[in-house]
Chains A and B, each alone.
Chain A
Amino acid sequence: MLTAILCALALGYAVLRVAIGYPDPRRHYHRLGRGEVALISSAAEAMYPAGGPIPSSGLDADLPDYLERLMTASRLQTRILLHLLFFLVEHGTLLFPTPGRGGMRRFSSQDIEQRVAALDGWAESTLFVRRLVFTSLRAVLTMGYFAYPPVVRRLGLAPLAIESPICEADLLYPRIGEKPESIGMTAADLTPPSEGIPLPQDGPLHPGFAEPGA
């Protein structure tokens, strides 16, 4: 009887912890749950706080949006791994509580100092698996942060505009998902191949990264 009560309590706690009390996200996500959106935003804020040499913060970079895109482009197996990663970070505080009051609360419910301390705990752990979780989380967040044009512009790393020469292969391969009829180019459209002129570093940026209105 006691075991049954304890199991029921544990189950109730698990449901509360995993599913209840998350804020409504700003938009609808197909691939991410509400808890995951909260976790990603809160981890992004701790990983990339506002200010410093790169003004944009992790929150500005809208990392849930990036992860939604990444997951949409990924296969089921990868998506499962990412869900698992988010779960581990969000609820890992049960196994590895953050120092201070309420250190066992969900990662996304902790205040910013605690979240920074929690991340440091994962990063500096003597357990290889814990460090691996941290490195994986930082990797996906960093990719999202760098997908935000103001960040790479600020660092002078935004891709430059390049006009691709039209070569024989461009007459053979359509865009993915389309038929060859969509190519709409003939041998007359071929252009001379690259002459190897170094890219001028003060040239225009790729349109996807250019300053709005530039």
Chain B
Amino acid sequence: MEPGQLRVFAQYDRDLTLEADAVVVGSGPAGAVVAKELTDAGKSVVLVEEGPPFVPAEYEFDGGLSMARTMREGGLRTTSGTVMPTMQAVALGGGSLVNSAICNRAPAFILDRWCSDFELERTTRADLDPHYEAVAKFLGIAVTPENVLGRRNLLFRDGCDALGYHCEPMYRNVRGCRGSGECFTGCRSRAKQSMDISYIPAALRGGARVLTSVRIERVLAERWRATGVAGRVVTPFTGRPSHQVRIHAKLVVLAAGCTATPVLLQKSGNLANRSGQVGENLQFHPGVAIMGIFPELVNPRFGATQGYQSRHFLREGFKLETLWAPPAITAVRLPGSGMALKNRLADIPYSAIWDGIAVCNRSIGRVRVRRRSMDPILSWKLHPADVSVLAQALWVLSQIFFAAGARTIVPGVHGIAPELHSLEEAEVLRDRPIRATDLVLAGNHVFCTTRMHGDARLGVVDEMGRCHDFENLYIADTGIFPQCPAVNPMWTGMALAHRSAQQIAQQI
């Protein structure tokens, strides 16, 4: 296989063995950055991805079918303990293909806390800013223009302004957004700079070899050195394995995602786990949402998928955002059945959905392996104190809705009326005790399962992403975060990956 080539499922007709300076497992935001930066530094790189590449002709508008094709376990993956859906993509570009492209730098106070609580020395905001900048420049991260925000984003601004809550349009890795609100099923305008149309083509141009539809099942190691990875070609969507693939490399970078990397390490003979921390400390940044119905037409089909946010309450532990998803997924939130449900569906053109995501550092879980499968078992429990933070987010969202002129809100909380018609009615969200099982939760930001820590007994990697136990084994995905970053994680993950890549390039 020549440098700069990409291989797709239909091209594998025999077992394959390759050699490289570095092999990167996983083509999401973290892996794609590492692959491109290493090729830029003149290293020979193989980037391996289990999912296939998706072109616009493959995108499905239907939320269910789209998830069945682009997400692990068809989008039905949930945690046990506190049951919460969590989505991880399986596609060239990883989560960037389906995410809303929101880019936020982790706040300085959070990074300071990481440094002090996890014995890190070079992970302050000042340390990371050059890496954030480098990624921003390459992807064209910029503020969402006003003309593609649409009413459902602007109403959020109006509500926050009326209450004096600071808010702002989102920074996103998007060039030329048209406001189609389709980020979740794939950007037909090719405006979202997902990895498959940005970093990965650049890595290929630089000479990287990219294998798609290959699932890595084992990290190869001899004593305390990683020597490569081994896996199989897998059929898209069914995951049926066929030819063997082996890549020998001077250095291995795992960027398979926070839920997959610990499985890979555990299936490789519990590698890099002298600390016992692999798969532990699982944290989410769970979200709750409210739908608001306005007297006038909102036309939610138009507007950047998630175009506005408020970081006003970050120190209280939550962040507020606008949200849109394929109509069917939006409709799934609506309560009831029969004609009552149909009447509510008819309100969707008059509606907006806004969500709150909360730092839940007290809610900890773990990733365990399944026998004969690379899918993880995710156990996690939402701590009552974190439930209170989510409830607080719901209460603030309800204030913003009514301040923006909503006539009704649909809080989606069990035990509370399905519709609330005034702020006074919404006070129940503030006053009534709410349990985890009352909430409709979702958690797509995942961290900490191979966390960084300055003390090798308490973490899996150091702050450059290098495994404490292995000189030439790195981890780059969001599993290395020591805690939730309090904002959307992608940009921080990429900045950390960018920094790791610089060290790796010097090491090989």
Q: Which residues on A are within 8 Å of B, measured CB to CB?
A: 46-49, 51-54, 69-70, 73-75, 77-78, 81, 116, 119-120, 123, 128, 131-132, 135, 138-140, 142-147, 152, 155-157, 159-160, 162, 164-165, 167-170, 172-180, 193-199, 201, 206, 208-209
- How far apart sit A145 and B338, CA to CA, in the bound complex (Å)? 13
A186 to B378, alpha carbons, bound, how many Å? 45
Across the A-B interface, give the 8 residue pairs with the lowest CB-CB distance, nearest first.
A194-B176, A53-B346, A146-B328, A173-B53, A143-B64, A78-B74, A196-B176, A73-B68
CB–CB A155/B197 < 8 A: no
Task: Known contacts A53-B343, A75-B237, A78-B76; decide if A165 and B189 are in contact (CB<8 Å).
Answer: yes
**A180 CA to B6 CA, complexed, in Å:** 9
Given A173-B196, A196-B145, the answer on whether A155 and B348 have CB atoms closer than 8 Å is yes
> A62 to chain B: closest CB distance in Å?
14
**Residues in B lying within 8 Å of A, measured CB to CB:** 6, 8-11, 52-58, 61-65, 68-69, 73-74, 76, 83, 92, 145, 147-148, 175-180, 182, 188-191, 196-197, 200-201, 204, 236-239, 299-302, 326-329, 331-332, 335-339, 341-343, 345-346, 348-349, 375, 414, 437, 440
B74 cross-chain contacts in A, Cβ below 8 A: 73-75, 77-78
A128–B437 touching, CB < 8 Å = yes
User: In the complex the two chains form, is B64's CB within 8 Å of A194's CB?
Assistant: no
Query: Which residues does chain A contribute within 8 Å of B437, judged by CB atoms?
Result: 128
Tell me whether B337 and A47 are in contact (CB under 8 A).
yes
CA distance A172 to B375 in the complex (A): 29
A-B contact pairs, 22 of them (CB 8 A): A46-B337, A47-B338, A47-B341, A52-B342, A52-B343, A78-B68, A119-B338, A131-B414, A156-B301, A162-B178, A164-B56, A165-B190, A169-B201, A172-B201, A173-B54, A174-B8, A176-B52, A176-B58, A176-B236, A194-B175, A196-B177, A198-B179
The answer on a CB contact under 8 Å between A81 and B76 is yes
Alpha-carbon gap, A147 to B189, bound state (A): 22
Which residue of B200, B342, B345 has the most chain A CB atoms within 10 A of its CB atom?
A: B342
A138 and B201 within 8 A (CB): no
B178–A49 CB distance below 8 A? no
Chain A residue nearest to B237 in the complex (CB): A73
Q: Which residues does chain B contribute within 8 Å of A170, judged by CB atoms? A: 55
Residue of A with least CB distance to B342: A52
**In the bound complex, do residue B10 and residue A177 qualify as a contact, i.e. CB atoms below 8 Å apart?**
yes
Question: What separation, in Å, do the CA atoms of A33 and B73 have in the docked complex?
Answer: 22
Complex contact B338–A152 (CB within 8 A): no
- Docked CA distance A75–B235 (Å): 11
Most buried by B among A78, A139, A169, A198: A169
Q: Bound complex: CA of A74 vs CA of B326, how far in Å?
A: 19
Q: How far is the CB of B196 from chain A (nearest CB, A)?
A: 6
Q: Are A199 and B61 in contact (CB under 8 A)?
A: no
Q: How far, in angstroms, from A156 to B348 measured CA to CA in the complex?
A: 9
CB neighbours of B56 from chain A (8 A) = 164
B residues in contact with A49, CB < 8 Å: 338-339, 342
Which A residues are CB-close (under 8 A) to B61?
159, 206, 208-209
A135 to chain B, nearest CB (A): 8
Find out whether the CB atom of A179 lies under 8 angstroms from the CB atom of B302.
Answer: no
Contact of B346 (CB < 8 Å), options: A52, A139, A172: A52
Q: How many Å from the CB of B53 to the closest CB on chain A?
A: 4
Counting chain B CB atoms within 10 Å of each CB, the highest count among A48, A142, A170, A176 belongs to A176
Taking the nearest CB of chain A, how far is it from the CB of B306, in angstroms?
Answer: 17
Cα separation A113 to B48 with both chains bound (whole Å): 54
Contact of B332 with A198 in the complex, beta carbons under 8 Å:
no
A168 to B199, CA, bound (A): 12
Cβ B341 vs Cβ A70 within 8 A: no
Which residue of B has the minimal Cβ distance to A123?
B337
> In the complex the two chains form, what is the Cα distance from A214 to B204 in whole Å?
43
B238 surroundings in chain A (CB, below 8 A):
75
Are B327 and A73 within 8 A (Cβ)? Answer: no
Given contacts A52-B342, A180-B11, 8 further A-B contacts (CB under 8 A): A49-B338, A52-B343, A140-B64, A157-B301, A173-B6, A194-B175, A196-B175, A199-B302
Query: In the complex, what residue of chain A is closest to B56 when comparing beta carbons?
Result: A164
Residues of B within 8 A of A206 (CB): 61
Contact residues in A for B76 (Cβ distance below 8 Å): 78, 81
Instruction: Write the nearest CB–CB distance from A161 to chain B, whole angstroms.
Output: 9
Residue of A nearest to B435 (CB): A128
Q: How far is the CA of A201 from the CA of B298 in the complex (A)?
A: 12
Residue in contact with B197 in the complex, picked from A119, A144, A169, CB distance below 8 Å: A169
Say yes or no: A201-B299 contact (C-beta < 8 A), given A52-B339, A162-B189, A179-B10. yes
B305 to chain A, nearest CB (A): 13
Say whether B10 contacts A70, CB under 8 Å.
no
Task: Write out the residue numbers on chain A whose beta carbons fall within 8 Å of the beta carbon of B349.
Answer: 155-157
A191 to chain B, nearest CB (A): 9
Q: Which residues of B contact A78 (CB under 8 A)?
A: 68, 73-74, 76
Considering the chains assembled together, what is the distance between the CA atoms of A198 and B178 in angstroms? 4
In the complex, residue of chain B having the shortest beta-carbon distance to the beta carbon of A48? B342
Least CB separation from A45: chain B residue:
B338
Q: Which residues of B contact A195 (CB under 8 A)?
A: 176
Q: When chains A and B are docked, how far (Å) is the Cα of A137 from the Cα of B6?
A: 41
Interface centre among B68, B83, B182 (most CB of A within 10 A): B68
B54 A176 Cβ-Cβ under 8 A: yes
